[in-house]
């Protein structure tokens, strides 16, 4: 963005502004865009979800307000704005007031590190991925504040459950991403996307692969297992079915949102949808290449970039449009999968949820990290790092060896852990005779 | 923004002033929040002020160009430890606290300030501070890849520290499990209807077996 | 893979799903939901199928109501004869739980007797609870439950429905509930014929069928024109005639004959209270009385100009009009206004007034005849 602004102002108009001004303008434009995009995403996603889930339930969703219900979210927004804001007198006024902000603000922050197209990232941080998850963990504090400040025991219990769920599923999420970070060697999201050029095999792994933008991580065993684990963890983080105990209608009133009405409830709602959008976006970025797709890399190579300041601005626009199209297609596709899962599955109980997270997903992701390390060793290391025997092999052979080993390891680990977990769950359900008798004092 | 501007080799004087202003604000925020932690009446509010001071500390790390530490500060302190503190407060029903100010608090303040000054003043006066900042050759900005350096440090120079910290965390984890664990038989457990039914069936089966054995023995 | 077998009215579907291995159940669940999603882009018109959208997009589409659906009662009238089936028997008014039905039964204006028809029928739709008791209890199957449910309005007063708004043709009812009408049709039509016979004039015809009303009136007028000759011939022999089922017109003629006879016998002149606002029936009766009086007074050979027997319908109408005008003139000759009821009540006893009116009518008729001859 700054380069485009620089080009426009300095070169085309020849005003010659200092670079800090250009930087400032660039950031302001981007911030304004993001401020508009985030609520728009939420509006669109609410409509999208309602239409999709309605079709899954053999009915049509909202289609009265505007063509195909396009203005339904606006009507919902007006409704929420005009509702009375009721605050219980026993509630902690300040904390009750600030809690929705603490829940919503991090979701807005997370837009800062999301690349929408090639070169279209608001802030290119070296630690973008870590920033993303650090900020998302702040909203858990907001949940606690909301539950406590309502001075309602159901809200408190609901908030504790929600926070326990969020915190315990952050671990498998971050651990599964850690495997990908191991493979790429960088925490920068932009770098992660750039790594995924190629054709089912990333060009960084095997340089002779043509760059069609399809060298996604999902096509490797490490990435596949990480994707499964991450998507499940993202469902739990965003409080979607089957992990939607805090927000489901028939559960514990409305959980931590019980005592909120009007726009404060609207803010919680907004935060939930924006967070889900962001999680879908991160899924598509890390495992499916984000804006990577056939054509984008080639177009961007001829655009104005920091390495190529003489490019044509047309290519910027084209690459941007195509990149954003791929990115949004993948993101909305993942959101459709989230809605699909919501339409298909029943809810997990809180104890089943915690068991699944701690006892199944975390061991699985730990094994995945191990296989990621093996992958890195087999594809990248040489004699200097201690693996002399791989140095003689060609890159393709190295890739194939890594693929095979990690596939075997991941598959074996999944089957093994699944069996153990299933057995433990069955064990839990069964009651032994002596235990029963002990409990009931029946001879 | 300060970092981005720092990256560019401009040597612009006003930026130093800007950084000093930012530092002053952050320091005020940290100290103010810390003071609120110990003075507010409601213990939950104290925890929330603590979270505010954590955020400010993270910002302080950012001004020191330690991005990784700043983000980890937010991730660990705000995202995990604060929640732990809040859980602990909420689960232990503490009564509405009262301001724990003694009657002659001004005397205590004076004495503590005096002691603090006695420790700090010699350092402040005697040391040679590098003000103004040395204007050395401005070369290419350092790459802010703190993560790699920290990682290398963990397995090269600080491996023992790393391992000890790891053992400590593992011990804490196991200790937590041990404390929270309870034999299933010792749990107070009300049987559901289905469990009662199963129990009754099993007892009938055993009773029949016993009587069958008794009949066969006759 | 799914075999369906039918045992009686139960269909057994055997979905052969193999043993589910780890994770397969979840994927099959997703598959089921996907099929529903993909299938929902077509509309479901057969409720025994499970795929397809079940939504009825009101108000563009509406669900068809079952025949026995009841919402708001309506009154039926027969298409061909135009007669309403309602006889004003008050059964529905009696049984209505919220008492929203208000009926006024029709009265024969000439005889004052009740006629099996209703002059006014009011139902307060805003309080009606559509229980259908009125329709259940109606002996003549004239009040039935309609199917309309889109009655929302901002004007509460507009929900008080009168007979004109409640009338529906039988073909309308057959359209919404053919089976229910088919059950009761025979009995209802039979009872309707009976009611029609007992309804004089245009009483009982649905007010909206103006053509039918006009035609009936013409019919009656023609019958009345033809009837006096027969009545005059049979009048001397009439008094002892057996009281067979008389039409209302015949009854009126008989009554007029009796009045004329009383008028002749009556000596004491009652106060000159002229009958006011004579209805056509009354005017006709007066005319008939006038004719009889003229005949009785002047002998068997009435002057041709005075014999309204051969009068054409136009002249008969003129004579009728003259009679009305005479009556009105008589009324205006008086100073004190007389109520219609007393006038009607005292008219039959008022021999002199009748004679006066008769003389005036005869004069007017003569004048009219002369004028007609002159033109």
Using CB atoms, which chains have 3+ pairs under 8 A with B?
A: A
For residue A94, the model assigns a pLDDT of 87
For residue C173, the model assigns a pLDDT of 94
Find the mean pLDDT for residues C22-41: 88
Q: What is the pLDDT of residues C43-68, one digit of tens each?
A: 888 777 888 888 888 888 888 889 99
In a domain, residue A278? The reply is yes
User: Are C40 and A56 in contact (CB < 8 Å)?
Assistant: yes
Find the mean pLDDT for residues A367-385: 88
- CB-defined contacts A:C, below 8 A: 49
List, as ranges, residues 51-70 from C with C-beta within 8 Å of A: 51-55, 57
Map chain B to HEC letters. CHHHHHHCCCCCHHHHHHHHHHHHHHHHHHHHHHHHHHHCCCHHHHHHHHHHHHHHHHHHHHHCCCHHHHHHHHHHHHHHHHHHHHHHHHHCCCCCCCCCCCCCHHHHHHHHHHHHHHHHHHHHHHCCCCCCCCCCCCCCCCCCCHHHHHHHHHHCCCHHHHHHHHHHHHHHHHHHHHHHCCCHHHCCCCCCHHHHHHHHHHHHHHHHHHHHHHHHHC
**Residue C157 CB neighbour total at 10 angstroms:** 7
ipTM: 0.86
User: Are A341 and C30 in contact (CB < 8 Å)?
Assistant: yes
For residue B96, the model assigns a pLDDT of 61
Query: Which residues, including other chains, have CB under 8 Å from residue A325's CB and lie 6 or more apart?
Result: none
Classify residue A213 as left (phi > 0), alpha (psi -120 to 50) or beta: left
| Touch between chain B and chain A: 3 or more Cβ pairs under 8 Å | yes
Weakest mean pLDDT among A146-150, A207-211, B73-77, C306-310: C306-310
Find the mean pLDDT for residues C170-187: 93
For residue B42, the model assigns a pLDDT of 83
Test the B interface: residue of A3, A141, A163 with most B CBs within 10 Å? A141
Q: How far is C54 from chain A (nearest CA, A)?
A: 6
Weakest mean pLDDT among A64-68, A353-357, B124-128: B124-128
User: Are A418 and C33 in contact (CB < 8 Å)?
Assistant: no
Q: How far is C56 from chain A (nearest CA, A)?
A: 9
Nearest to C263 by CA among C226, C310, C295: C295
Rounded CA gap, B158 and C183, in Å?
Answer: 99
Find the mean pLDDT for residues A272-299: 91
Beta bridge partners of C4: C13
Q: B79 to chain A: which residues are within 8 Å by CB?
A: 134, 137-138, 140-141, 167, 170
User: Are C41 and A344 in contact (CB < 8 Å)?
Assistant: no
For residue A414, the model assigns a pLDDT of 92
Q: A415 to chain C: which residues are within 8 Å by CB?
A: 22
Reading the block at residue A147, the tokens are: 């539950």
Nearest to A351 by CA among A202, A200, A164, A186: A164
In a domain, residue A314? The reply is yes
Using CB atoms, which chains have 3+ pairs under 8 A with C?
A: A
In a domain, residue A275? The reply is yes
Highest mean predicted confidence (pLDDT) among A195-199, B188-192, C41-45, C92-96:
C92-96
In a domain, residue A160? The reply is yes
Q: Is A125 on the interface with B (CB under 8 A)?
A: yes
Test the C interface: residue of A50, A51, A52, A56 with most C CBs within 10 Å? A56
Interface of B with A (CB under 8 A): 1, 4-5, 8, 42, 44-45, 48, 51, 67-68, 71-72, 74-75, 78-80, 82-83, 86-87, 90, 144-145, 147, 184-185, 189, 191, 195, 198-199, 202-203
User: Are B144 and A126 in contact (CB < 8 Å)?
Assistant: yes
Q: Is the pLDDT of residue A401 over 70?
A: yes
In a domain, residue A5? The reply is no
User: For chain C, which domains are there?
Assistant: 35-64 (no CATH), 73-197 (3.30.70.3270), 247-374 (no CATH)
Q: What is the pLDDT of residues C244-263, one digit of tens each?
A: 566 777 777 788 888 887 87
For residue A230, the model assigns a pLDDT of 96
Cα B68 to Cα A93, A190, C79, C148, distances in angstroms: 35, 17, 91, 71
Helix or strand or coil: residue C235? coil
Helix or strand or coil: residue C122? strand
* Number of domains observed in the structure of chain A: 1
Q: What is the pLDDT of residues A219-241, one digit of tens each?
A: 999 999 999 999 999 999 998 87
Q: Which residue of A has its CA nearest to B86?
A: A144
In a domain, residue A94? The reply is yes
**Alpha-helical runs (H) found in A185-249:** 189-195, 221-237
Helix or strand or coil: residue A382? coil
For residue C308, the model assigns a pLDDT of 42
Q: A187 to chain B: which residues are within 8 Å by CB?
A: 147
User: Are C52 and A56 in contact (CB < 8 Å)?
Assistant: no
Residue C201's pLDDT band (cuts 50, 70, 90) = confident
For residue C274, the model assigns a pLDDT of 41
For residue C372, the model assigns a pLDDT of 62
**Domain of A233, in residue numbers:** 83-440
For residue A251, the model assigns a pLDDT of 62
For residue C5, the model assigns a pLDDT of 82
Q: What is the pLDDT of residues C108-138, one digit of tens each?
A: 888 888 999 999 999 999 999 999 999 999 9
For residue B32, the model assigns a pLDDT of 95
Using CB atoms, which chains have 3+ pairs under 8 A with A?
A: B, C
Find the mean pLDDT for residues A123-145: 90
Q: B199 to chain A: which residues are within 8 Å by CB?
A: 431, 436-437, 440, 442
Q: What is the pLDDT of residues B33-63, one digit of tens each?
A: 999 998 888 888 999 999 999 999 999 999 8
| Mean per-residue pLDDT over chain C, rounded | 78
User: Are A345 and C53 in contact (CB < 8 Å)?
Assistant: no
In a domain, residue A104? The reply is yes
Q: Is the pLDDT of residue A18 over 80?
A: no
Q: B193 to chain A: which residues are within 8 Å by CB?
A: none
**Alpha-helical runs (H) found in chain C:** 24-39, 91-95, 133-137, 163-166, 170-176, 178-197, 210-234, 248-265, 280-298, 313-333, 340-346, 351-374
Residue A440's pLDDT band (cuts 50, 70, 90) = low
For residue A115, the model assigns a pLDDT of 92
In a domain, residue A57? The reply is no
Q: A54 to chain C: which residues are within 8 Å by CB?
A: 40
**Residue A6 CB neighbour total at 10 angstroms:** 19
User: Are B74 and A134 in contact (CB < 8 Å)?
Assistant: yes
Q: What is the pLDDT of residues A241-259, one digit of tens each?
A: 788 877 766 665 667 777 8
Residue C357's pLDDT band (cuts 50, 70, 90) = confident
Q: A138 to chain B: which residues are within 8 Å by CB?
A: 74, 78-79
Find the mean pLDDT for residues B75-87: 92
Q: Does residue C231 or residue C75 have the better pLDDT?
A: C75
């Amino acid at each position: 963005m700054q380069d485009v602004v620089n080009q426009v102002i300095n070169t085309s108009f020849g005003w010659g502004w200092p670079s800090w001004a250009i930087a400032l303008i660039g950031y302001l434009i981007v911030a304004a865009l993001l401020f508009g995009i985030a609520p728009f995403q939420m509006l669109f996603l609410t409509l999208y979800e309602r239409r999709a889930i309605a079709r899954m339930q053999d009915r049509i969703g909202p289609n009265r307000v505007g063509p195909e219900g396009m203005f339904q979210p606006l009507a919902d927004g007006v409704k929420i704005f005009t509702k009375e804001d009721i605050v219980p007198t026993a509630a902690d006024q300040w904390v009750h007031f600030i809690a929705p902000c603490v829940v919503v603000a991090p979701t807005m922050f997370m837009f800062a590190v999301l690349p929408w197209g090639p070169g279209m990232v608001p802030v290119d941080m070296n630690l973008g991925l870590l920033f993303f998850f650090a900020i998302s963990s702040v909203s858990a504090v907001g949940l606690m504040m909301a539950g406590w400040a309502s001075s309602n025991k159901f809200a408190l219990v609901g908030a504790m459950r929600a926070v326990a769920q969020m915190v315990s599923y952050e671990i498998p999420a971050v651990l599964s991403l850690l495997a990908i970070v191991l493979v790429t060697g960088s925490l920068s999201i932009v770098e992660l996307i750039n790594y995924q050029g190629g054709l089912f095999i990333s060009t960084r792994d095997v340089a002779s692969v043509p760059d069609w933008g399809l060298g996604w991580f999902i096509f490797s065993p490490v990435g596949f297992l990480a994707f499964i684990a991450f998507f499940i963890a993202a469902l739990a983080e965003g409080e979607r079915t089957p992990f939607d105990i805090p927000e489901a209608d028939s559960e514990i009133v409305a959980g931590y949102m019980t005592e909120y009405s009007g726009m404060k409830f609207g803010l919680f709602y907004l935060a939930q949808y924006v967070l889900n959008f962001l999680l879908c976006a991160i899924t598509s970025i890390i495992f499916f290449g984000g804006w990577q797709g056939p054509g984008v890399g080639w177009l961007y190579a001829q655009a104005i970039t920091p390495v190529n300041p003489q490019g044509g601005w047309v290519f910027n626009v084209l690459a941007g449009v195509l990149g954003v199209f791929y990115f949004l297609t993948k993101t909305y596709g993942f959101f459709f999968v989230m809605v699909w899962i919501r339409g298909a599955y029943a809810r997990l109980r809180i104890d089943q949820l915690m068991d699944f997270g701690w006892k199944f997903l975390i061991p699985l992701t730990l094994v995945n990290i191990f296989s990621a390390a093996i992958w890195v060793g087999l594809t990248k290391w040489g004699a200097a790092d201690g693996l002399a025997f791989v140095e003689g092999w060609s890159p393709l052979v190295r890739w194939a060896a890594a693929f095979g080993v990690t596939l075997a390891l991941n598959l074996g680990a999944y089957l093994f852990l699944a069996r153990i977990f299933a057995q433990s769950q069955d064990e839990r359900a069964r009651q032994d005779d002596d235990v029963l008798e002990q409990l009931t004092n029946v001879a | 923004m300060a970092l981005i501007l720092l990256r560019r080799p401009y040597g612009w004087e006003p930026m130093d002033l800007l950084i000093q202003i930012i530092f002053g604000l952050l320091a005020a925020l940290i100290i103010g929040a810390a003071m609120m932690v110990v003075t507010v009446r409601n213990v939950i509010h104290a925890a929330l002020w603590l979270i505010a001071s954590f955020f400010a500390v993270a910002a302080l790390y950012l001004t020191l160009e330690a991005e990784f530490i700043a983000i980890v500060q937010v991730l660990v302190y705000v995202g995990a430890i604060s929640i732990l503190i809040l859980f602990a407060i909420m689960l232990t029903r503490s009564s509405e606290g009262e301001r724990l100010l003694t009657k002659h608090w001004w005397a205590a303040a004076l004495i503590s300030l005096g002691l603090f000054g006695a420790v700090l003043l010699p350092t402040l006066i005697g040391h040679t501070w590098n003000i103004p900042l040395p204007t050395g050759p401005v070369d290419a900005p350092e790459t802010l890849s703190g993560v790699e350096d920290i990682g290398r440090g963990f397995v090269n120079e600080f491996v023992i520290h790393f391992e000890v910290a790891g053992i400590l965390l593992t011990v804490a984890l196991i200790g937590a499990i041990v404390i929270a664990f309870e034999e299933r038989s010792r749990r107070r457990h009300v049987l559901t209807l289905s469990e009662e039914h199963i129990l009754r069936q099993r007892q009938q089966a055993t009773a029949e077996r016993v009587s069958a054995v008794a009949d066969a023995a006759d | 893979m799914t075999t369906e077998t039918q045992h009686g009215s139960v269909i057994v579907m055997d979905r052969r799903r193999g043993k589910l291995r780890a994770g397969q159940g979840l994927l099959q669940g997703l598959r089921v939901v996907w099929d529903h999603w993909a299938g929902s882009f077509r509309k479901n018109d057969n409720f025994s199928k499970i795929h397809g959208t079940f939504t009825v997009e009101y108000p563009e589409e509406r669900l068809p109501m079952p025949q026995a659906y009841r919402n708001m009662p309506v009154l039926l009238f027969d298409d061909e004869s135009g007669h309403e089936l309602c006889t004003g028997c008050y059964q529905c008014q009696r049984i209505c739980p919220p008492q929203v039905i208000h009926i006024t039964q029709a009265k024969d204006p000439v005889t004052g007797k009740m006629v099996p028809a209703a002059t006014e029928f009011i139902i307060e739709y805003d309080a009606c609870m559509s229980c259908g008791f009125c329709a259940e209890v109606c002996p003549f199957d004239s009040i039935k439950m309609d199917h309309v449910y889109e009655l929302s309005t901002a004007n509460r007063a507009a929900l008080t429905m009168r007979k004109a708004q409640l009338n529906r043709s039988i073909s309308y009812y057959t359209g919404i509930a053919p089976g229910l009408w088919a059950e009761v049709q025979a009995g209802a039509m039979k009872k309707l014929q009976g009611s029609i016979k007992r309804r004089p004039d245009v009483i009982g015809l649905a007010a909206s069928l103006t053509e039918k009303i006009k035609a009936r009136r013409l019919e009656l007028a023609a019958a009345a024109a033809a009837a006096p000759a027969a009545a005059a011939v049979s009048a001397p022999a009439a008094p002892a005639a057996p009281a067979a089922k008389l039409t209302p017109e015949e009854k009126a003629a008989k009554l007029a004959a009796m009045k004329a006879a009383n008028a002749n016998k009556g000596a004491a002149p009652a106060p000159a209270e002229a009958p006011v606002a004579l209805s056509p029936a009354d005017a006709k009766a007066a005319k008939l009385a006038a004719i009889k009086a003229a005949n009785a007074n002047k002998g068997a050979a009435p002057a041709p100009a005075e014999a309204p027997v051969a009068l054409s319908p136009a002249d008969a109408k003129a004579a009728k009009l003259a009679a009305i005008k005479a009556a009105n003139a008589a009324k205006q000759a008086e100073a004190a206004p007389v109520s219609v009821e007393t006038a009607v009540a005292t008219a039959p006893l008022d021999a002199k007034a009748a004679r006066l009116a008769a003389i005036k009518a005869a004069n007017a008729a003569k004048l009219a005849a002369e004028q007609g001859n002159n033109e």
